[in-house]
């Protein structure tokens, strides 16, 4: 029984390998991966831009506060200047100079504010465009996911069936034999069990010596090809 089970195990494992490759090579899988990576790329740009926008908006707030402060100060100084309470020409000249300096300071800040507002407008427009792109990318990724699931659904079901079959087959394989099988599968590009084709090994396609062939009769024994060391089973 062991040899038959090993042969079945080899068949089901090759089948599982093919299904897994089929799933990863689906065009829908590649499309989905592309859409997801595009979504990630746009998301990153959008979050960087939002960060930049926040920074500029904080800067705008700070400069507006500063301008308001300067305006208040100008009003206070002008009120003093025209209050009629100060008659000393030197003092009046001092206040006048102060008002002039404050206004020129405020002018510079207002120019800076206009520049910041311009940058914010540009960033906001870019952000709005990015949001649209993100929305489109999200819809496309969802569609790609759905179409991958549709395309892969059948393969996925076959995979689950094959895995269940494999579990059943494993019950008939001794642990030591399974260990040997796993090792050979790893070493021999997935083909651990070969069928005897007449007197030829189906794995390495070499002829077996006549006396070796005569010995491969007992089903319970695990036979190995003297050339490639694969497990040999007789054709059933
Ligand atoms: Zn061989």
pLDDT in the model for residue 169: 96
**106 and 211 in one domain?**
no
CA distance 138 to 40: 10
Look at the chain and report how many structural domains it folds into: 2
**139 and 214 in one domain?**
no
pLDDT at 216 over 90: no
Instruction: Compute, in angstroms, the gap from residue 56 CA to the centroid of ligand 1.
Output: 72
Instruction: Please identify, among 170, 203, 222, the residue that sits at the C-terminal boundary of a domain.
Output: 170
pLDDT at 73 over 70: yes
Instruction: Compute, in angstroms, the gap from residue 190 CA to the centroid of ligand 1.
Output: 14
Instruction: Compute, in angstroms, the gap from residue 3 CA to the centroid of ligand 1.
Output: 16
pTM: 0.58
pLDDT at 2 over 80: no
Instruction: Compute, in angstroms, the gap from residue 193 CA to the centroid of ligand 1.
Output: 9
Instruction: Compute, in angstroms, the gap from residue 216 CA to the centroid of ligand 1.
Output: 14
CB atoms within 10 A of CB 140: 17
**181 and 97 in one domain?**
no
pLDDT in the model for residue 88: 93
**156 and 183 in one domain?**
no
Helices (H), 171-187: 175-187
Q: pLDDT by residue (tens digit) across 106-135? A: 999 999 999 999 999 999 999 999 999 999
**200 and 116 in one domain?**
no
pLDDT at 235 over 90: no
Domain limits at 64?
2-170
Reported confidence tier of residue 159, pLDDT bands at 50, 70, 90: very high
In the numeric block, the tokens 């087959």 are attached to 169
pLDDT in the model for residue 123: 96
pLDDT at 157 over 60: yes
**183 and 201 in one domain?**
yes
Average pLDDT estimate for 53-60: 98
**227 and 131 in one domain?**
no
pLDDT in the model for residue 223: 87
Instruction: Please identify, among 145, 170, 195, the residue that sits at the C-terminal boundary of a domain.
Output: 170
Bridge partners (DSSP) listed for residue 234: 196
Average pLDDT estimate for 52-79: 97
Average pLDDT estimate for 200-213: 89
**204 and 155 in one domain?**
no
pLDDT in the model for residue 215: 74
CA distance 145 to 32: 6
**209 and 154 in one domain?**
no
pLDDT in the model for residue 7: 92
**58 and 81 in one domain?**
yes
Q: pLDDT by residue (tens digit) across 183-196? A: 999 999 999 999 98
Instruction: Compute, in angstroms, the gap from residue 170 CA to the centroid of ligand 1.
Output: 24
List the CATH number of the domain containing 14. Answer: 1.10.287.1490
pLDDT in the model for residue 218: 56
Q: Residue by residue, what is the 3-state secondary structure of 2-50?
A: HHHHHHHHHHHHHHHHHHHHHHHCCHHHHHHHHHHHHHHHHHHHHHHHH
CA 70 to chain centre: 51
Mean pLDDT for all residues in the chain: 93
Instruction: Compute, in angstroms, the gap from residue 121 CA to the centroid of ligand 1.
Output: 74
**92 and 41 in one domain?**
yes
List the structure tokens of 56.
Answer: 């500029």
Instruction: Please identify, among 170, 186, 219, the residue that sits at the C-terminal boundary of a domain.
Output: 170
Instruction: Compute, in angstroms, the gap from residue 203 CA to the centroid of ligand 1.
Output: 5
**136 and 213 in one domain?**
no
pLDDT at 96 over 80: yes
């Amino acid at each position: 029984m062991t040899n038959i089970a090993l042969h079945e195990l080899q068949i089901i494992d090759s089948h599982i390998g093919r299904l897994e490759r089929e799933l990863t090579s689906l065009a829908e899988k590649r499309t989905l991966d592309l859409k997801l990576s595009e979504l990630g790329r746009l998301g990153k740009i959008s979050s960087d831009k939002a960060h930049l926008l926040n920074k500029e908006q904080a800067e705008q707030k700070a400069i507006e506060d500063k301008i308001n402060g300067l305006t208040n100060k100008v009003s206070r100084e002008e009120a003093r200047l025209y209050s009629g309470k100060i008659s000393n020409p030197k003092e009046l000249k001092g206040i006048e100079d102060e008002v002039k300096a404050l206004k020129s300071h405020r002018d510079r800040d207002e120019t800076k504010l206009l520049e910041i507002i311009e940058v914010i407008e540009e960033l906001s427009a870019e952000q709005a465009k990015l949001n649209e792109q993100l929305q489109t990318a999200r819809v496309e990724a969802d569609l790609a996911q759905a179409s991958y699931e549709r395309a892969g659904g059948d393969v996925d079901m076959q995979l689950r069936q094959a895995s269940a079959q494999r579990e059943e087959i494993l019950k008939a394989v001794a642990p030591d034999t399974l260990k040997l099988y796993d090792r050979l599968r790893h070493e021999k590009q997935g083909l651990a069990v070969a069928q005897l084709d007449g007197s030829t090994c189906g794995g390495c396609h070499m002829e077996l010596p006549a006396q070796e062939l005569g010995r491969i009769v007992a089903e319970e024994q695990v036979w190995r090809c003297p050339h490639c060391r694969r497990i040999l089973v007789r054709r059933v």
